[in-house]
Amino acid sequence: MPHILIDETRCKGCGLCTIACPKKLVSLSDTPNSLGVAMAVFSGPEKCTGCSLCAEMCPDVAISVFKE
């Protein structure tokens, strides 16, 4: 099952990944991370197709996509 991991130390909360996800499975958290940034969070892994658009859009290479 495809899923993504978001590196909390690299995410700056720009939100580009939230726009890129065609299934709207990435959103910005209401709670800031350790750096004080509302980072991206992944929800609904059962709906993820592993398209990698979120990772391609991320300017900080904070998203890894796994297709298995």
The ranges assigned to domains in the chain are 3-66
pLDDT at 45: 86
Average pLDDT value for the chain: 93
Polymer length of the chain: 68
pLDDT over threshold 90, residue 59: yes
The answer on pLDDT for 15 being more than 90 is yes
Secondary structure tally for the chain: helices H, strands E? 2, 4
Fold of 3-66: Alpha-Beta Plaits (3.30.70)
At residue 35, the pLDDT reads 81
Structure pTM? 0.89
Q: Which whole number is the average pLDDT over 30-52?
A: 90
